[in-house]
Structure 1
Amino acid sequence: MTLIRSLVTQAVTLVFVLLTVLLMVAVVLGATGVSDKILSAYVNEELRAVRQSLSQRIKDPVELEKALEQVRLELEKSYGLDRPWYERIPSLILRVLTLDLGYSRTITSFAGSRKVADIIVERLPYSILLVTSAVVISAVIGINFGLRTASRRGSLFDKLISYTAAASYGLPSWWTGLILLLVFYFYLRLLPPGGIMSTPPPTEPLAKVLDVLWHAVLPLMTLVTVIVGGWAYVTRTIVLNITQEDFVTVAKAKGLPENLLRRRYILRPAAPPIATNIVFAIAGSLGGAILTETV
Structure 2
Amino acid sequence: MTSLRAVQTLARSLLQAVPTVIGVVLLSFFLLQAVPGDAADVIAAESGSATEAGMAAMRSHFGLDQPVLQQLQAYVRNLARLNLGVSPRYNLPVSDLIFSRLGNTVLLMFSALGCALAAGIALGALMASFVGRWPDRVLSLAALLLYSTPGFWLGLMAIILLSVQLGWLPPGGVSTIGSAATGLAHALDVARHLVLPTLALAGFYVAIFARLTRASMLEVSRQDFVRTARAKGLNPWAVARRHILRNALIPVTTVAGLNFGTLLGGAVVVETVFSWPGLGRLAYESVMARDYVVLLGILVLSSLLVILANLLVDLLHALLDPRIRVH
**TM-score, reference length from structure 2:** 0.70
- Tell me the alpha carbon deviations over residues 253-277 of structure 1, each in whole angstroms, 9 at most, x when there is no partner: 7776533543454234323223434
Do the aligned partners of 2:176 and 2:189 also contact (CA within 8 Å) in 1? yes
1:199-210 alignment, distance < 5 Å: 199-210=177-188
Q: Which moved more, 1:8-17 or 1:185-194?
A: 8-17
Which structure has more relative contact order (CA 8 Å, sep 6+)? It is 2
Q: Give the Cα separation in 1 of the matches to 2:241 and 2:167.
A: 45
Q: Do 2:62 and 2:88's aligned partners in 1 also have CA atoms closer than 8 Å?
A: no
State the partner residue of 1:213.
191
1:45 to 42, 47, 71: 42
Q: Deviations over 1:92-124 (max 9, x none)?
A: 33456523251446xxxxxxx865543332222
Match of 1:14 among 14, 17, 20: 17
1:195 paired residue among 153, 169, 173 = 173
| Superposed displacement of residue 170, structure 1 | 1.6
Which of the residues 120, 129, 149 maps onto 1:171?
Answer: 149
2: CA distance, partners of 1:264 / 1:216: 33
Pick one of 44, 56, 68 that aligns with 1:73.
Answer: 56
- The answer to whether the aligner puts 1:99 opposite 2:102 as a matched pair is no
1:182 CA displacement: 0.7
Matched residue count: 268
SS at 1:222's partner residue? helix
Matching residue of 2:73: 90
CA contact (8 A) 1:132 1:286 kept: no
State the partner residue of 1:108: none
Which one-letter code corresponds to 1:102 in the other structure? S
Inter-partner Cα distance in structure 1 for 2:231 and 2:30: 62
1:140 pairs, out of 102, 113, 118, with 118
Q: Residues 167 and 114 from structure 1, CA distance in 2 versus in 1: closer, same or farther, beyond 3 angstroms? A: farther
RMSD between superposed Cα atoms in Å: 3.1
Q: Unpaired runs of 5+ in structure 1?
A: 54-67, 106-112
Check whether the contact 2:84–2:93 (CA below 8 A) recurs between aligned residues.
no
Q: Deviations over 1:183-229 (max 9, x none)?
A: 12221122112111112122332221111112112222323433322
Partner of 1:59: none
Residue identity matched to 2:151: S
Kept after mapping to 2: 8 A contact 1:132/1:282: no
Q: Distance in 1 between matches of 2:26 and 2:241?
A: 49
Q: 1:98 to 1:241 in 2, by over 3 A?
A: same
Task: Give unmatched runs, 5+ long, in structure 2.
Answer: 274-327
TM-score by length of 1: 0.77
